[in-house]
Structure 1
């Protein structure tokens, strides 16, 4: 159907890449693609394979969104084959009016990359219109005195078709009086002239009826007819004559209605009524008759409506001058309309994407537009500009076609959309301008990681909290949009054991609330640190970490625990001996207690609840030291009991009590008779003691073997057995609390070790030495007041007790 630039240049064997590169450089390599089609093609008819002429494959048609655009779209592109199809009825006469060359200009737009191509479709005329006279009946009056050879100009027929299909010739129905002569107009057209062949005789025939036929040059030809009615009148042998055959005038398009632009004048040599001339339009289009008016008596031509150069550049009118004797002549009036800068430029957006990625580099095409100014010359030359402060600029791609491209970095978080105003100004005097604002939406890219509200979090949680309760909340913000700004939270690290972390705390992925999964115990866990992560849902995802330190606060949930004095496993009581001559201030003993709480909750105070002899002893409020308040009197009992309460500083305070048994004696022999008075145990108790003695003996043997082995390995120590009658290992005890080293404060400064002899009849105690520190093995043995336990186990009967006792001074 038509040629294209791609068809004019064939690629040689070494030009394989040319078709691939052709779409990128098409505007600079060749002229617009041209097609030629006849008018009135059926809808869906193929104009040409546009994809092939553009060097695109069938797959590229849909992938690159090939489409065409125009002010009035008569064509479309087949998305499957790439053919350019007729979309709407194409009437050359309606589209191009009187122009002899009829062309439709289109733009083909492709994307990825975005580009535009120019297409010109030439509309060829077909013989779809028959010649037509403006009037179906032509009335003429011819004087009988007219000599043969006199001609009368007839109305021309109009045929909107062009070239071969336009008006070709006239024919007159056969008769003996008249013939038809075709004459040429100065503009190339033809008009008929009726020529008298034979003198008329009104008395013989007063009227003549003829048929005038106009034929075009189509195949087959079309025709139109008009009836000619000739009334024969008396003589008028001189027709009017115009002063010139063609009148030309130039007129500015901004002249107001009612302006006189021209006066035609014809003269007639006849006299009287036959010289009176009237003027009228002859075969003038309706449009011209609406714009101009003709004074039938004077021949003055006036404007009736405003002129528009952009609509009609030139008017051609035939004016007939006729006398009263029906003789006529005509002239042609050509009015040239001069352009004025009365049209502002137009901005037409041909392609505008929905969204623009915010990471688009400079130079990316974001819109295509063109400008149009209906004025001509400098009045139609347009230059474009952009509003200030936007990261875009304009590139001119071809005549009146422009690209809007990025000219800087885009940041959706700062500016999610741009209202870009494009201004177009012509070069007229004064210049006219217009503007159009387009909105460019910036699409988010995940370029911002979440940011926590604090660099680190510190939270205090009291112990014994409710499991499942919220203990803290972290919050992170992400300025990105949609999934890129949607934040979720998780635990990624902790100083707790990873296997048990989930049993301590959990975090809500939606809102960052941290929940305690168990009740915390300040005495077991005083603080721990978590690493929380905030992660967005972008691709790839971005994240940020923050530390959360949890301090477990103490509550007064532990009562004080008395370490000394302590009861033996069998409930036996430890006695403290006091010299009879002890003076006021003498340190008798010390109550040792601990509290597992901390702070004020572990601040202990000691109080005397009950004393068998009030005022005899004093008790240190904070130290727990029991001292003599006065000397022992003669009336005072040598056995004293002191009930001591230990209170902590919590609210409410918790407390524990301890009973001190104090015996005033200068030697241990004075105390032993008191022990021999104890009741004899039952047979079952004796049997139990026997088994305990056997078990203890076995344990002692194993212990001795271990000690001997350790000594042999070290080779630096020698084994020396104890004095005859004593145990193989000296039973030793520290007179102080048995517990962690931090609770050692308050123990008495020294202790005595002593043995019970094997002779039951001789209950004499043999003191060995005083020690400040005991060996580790002895210390472990005596942690449960084992001295009292052994004293009760190793005696076969209560009558001959062999007592082992630790006396603290």
Structure 2
């Protein structure tokens, strides 16, 4: 039986509650209802709801039902957000309530009355129809729905007829006299257009309350010589009913002769004088109070009246009552007793009875009663004292009773009936078996004596094994026990009372667990994780499983076997030692993971465990790209992040050796592209095809696997043209001269424009362009002497781009003889290192008539935009004015104009000039990156390609051809023994088997030289080579023999010996050593602390034993020598308790 405890908080049905509240609204109108549940019990616990935030005194929530109502209908905001909390007394949860406040829309509906009034008698339990409301304004046959917004639990309404009824729950007029119900009428599909009306329900009174006397108890005293009519006392009674039902009248139950009472006021007066000998006599007068109902209800009360003479003291009360806690401090006043002397004399007070142990004292002068000795509720809980008041002058006296009630305080802890408890229990006991019952008794009263029991939490976690009934003190088992784990259990039980503050006491309970043979052998691990290289030879050690049996008789009977998962018998298991090795039947290519189910048996019981063997793949394969060269296109001006191409390299290895990372080698490409882990190349900036360096970009990639093998490829990125350049004319303007008599179709001049775009985007169409209102042809006809027009060059791209240039046409008389240049065009050749100021050549106009020469420069650099060439105005000599660079501008094309004045008319002649710039060796080869980083795995075969370095020379022909060599340095011999470089391609390869343990890294320089004939230029880059570690070294024990000493009585877990090994490999994974005990089965009395620790510890078994260790790597090297050594080393550990054994015992 599982007993539920409160360990779960209540949960709201929704995290957020939402509703719409229409205005106007009224106090008490229900807004919504929140609901929460508590998963702790099938019986719903008592949940308490409360508003904790956002209320601003507008809303009220019923703490038990969760109904949210209007408290103040002056709502000024359009929405309210409230936080409501629900608590089960220990835990709580919160939810949000969102209330949207809206004005009700004009619905066209209205009730037939502005308000309704009705009434009903209180206390009726009949379901009664009290009113019918009716709304009008709806369309024909349109149904209306009626609802009460604040129904409570006493009213309901028929939703279609508007009939308001009671629910049968009785009304109490004295509790609430008027109910104002808010009734709403709404259309079925439109809840925002409503009509509302108030129905006032008055509760009619019935006579269901008797008069009740107030100011009790009553007591009066009257002088013996008082005259008739003297007021003795006035009593008062009230009645909660209304009208006649609440009118109270007074009368005496009997005729007492001497007394009478006023029927209306309740005043008791003296009716007949007393005889002088009646002093110190008490009358008990019974007074009745009756209401005016039909039938009438009444109540009675006793009025003690004492007849006193003038000398007797008179107490202000007929008796006194007080209560005091038993732990009250000494001399604490309890109450004040007051008596007066008719003659005004002093009063002396004394206690005459009821205080046998003198625990109280009364001040003889003031009458203040106080405690002077400790009280004990458990000894005496009530004192009845008799106090006497004496007239200080006459000695007349009177006595009064004082009842003192002693209140219990929690001053006694529970006391167990035994100082200790003992019990014996079999380990086969079922859960819930009674063990024993503890009993504690508390001498206090009421709640202070109620005792609760609990087991004190301790380091043994006793509460996990045993449970105690908190009320009865019965201890029961909470789980199955095991003698092999626990032989003796000591519980501390605490008994706590229910006082405040609570008091408690504790007792020790000792429970002995008796043994039975019930233990199967148990593996020291449920799951074993092991690793073995796929290159490991047959017979190679994999792992060793170990089991123990808590029953000492089964220690030597354990047998191990493989149950399943051993596909194709890849593994074999030693039945005695639990050692698993690779079998002779193992496949050459094994699966990546094997899960073996292994068992151990003691002949009766069997246990199983799982052995997960991960086959670690060797790094046999290098990554391979599907192509050595990829070609991709990307549009110029594409936004950064545009995908260019997805390249992928594959690797035949699995696991970490098959994981490939990509990187870009050359700096120029790095600045413009990135490659992610999936081989996807993206742009990092916008590209410009018109930039010669960006029109065709080579991206050199490296793929690196997890073992250090690499491969390379080139991605040629062709930038596709966009029409982002307008045509550019070769000059800033054109001028030409033409005779007036030339025929139609005569070639006047030729305009030329170039567009740096490609394809259709650079195809140029020319047209005449004029802003005049008449055509150019008309203009030329009108002005035969001179014509001016604008030429428009339009490219073929989308969108179309164009340029405009002015063309000046000089129209000459027909008889004019036009001069011309000596050649139709000029072409010159010049070396790029020509000195500034050198003369290129001279231009002539024939006949020479005093021409003025000038260059007509274009908008492009190659059109002499920067004035690289100038011409002397008078002589026509062309000179070099600025430095040339063949790599930037291998040729220039521009025009030269000659202006000749003939008959006061300027004749303009133009001619095309071409200047070719010859290359000289003025550029060094430039490497694609300032330095190169390469990674190679140790043990790779000779001739393995490491990396390709590349340098580019901007010169042409032989000046731009590059060869590569290793730089001459101090360690050149060491470098040249390890590496070589192809002088033409720049590929660096290995010349020997590299060893990480000897040389973990190399750094050397590579020189790139051009083949310039007169002068060879060169540059240098740095290559850093990291040789990664592989598991090619076996661990070695620092000592051949380790000696330890152990006592048979040593506890389990005692350190016997600490082993130490070292390994020449450097990486953590290759230096991780696992330890296993192999060989004789007696070794089970020892175990390594963990498979990766150097500590040898005791098992919980005594006896003589001998231990041998086998150290095994989790990863195996592919080194052939290491495979023959099996990657393991054995060592003997000699112990002082192991006699008669030597190292030869381990050679099997």
TM-score category of the 2 structures, normalised to the smaller one: 0.3 to 0.5
The one of the two structures with greater contact order (alpha-carbon pairs below 8 A, sep at least 6) is 1
* Bigger radius of gyration: 1
Higher helix proportion, which one?
1
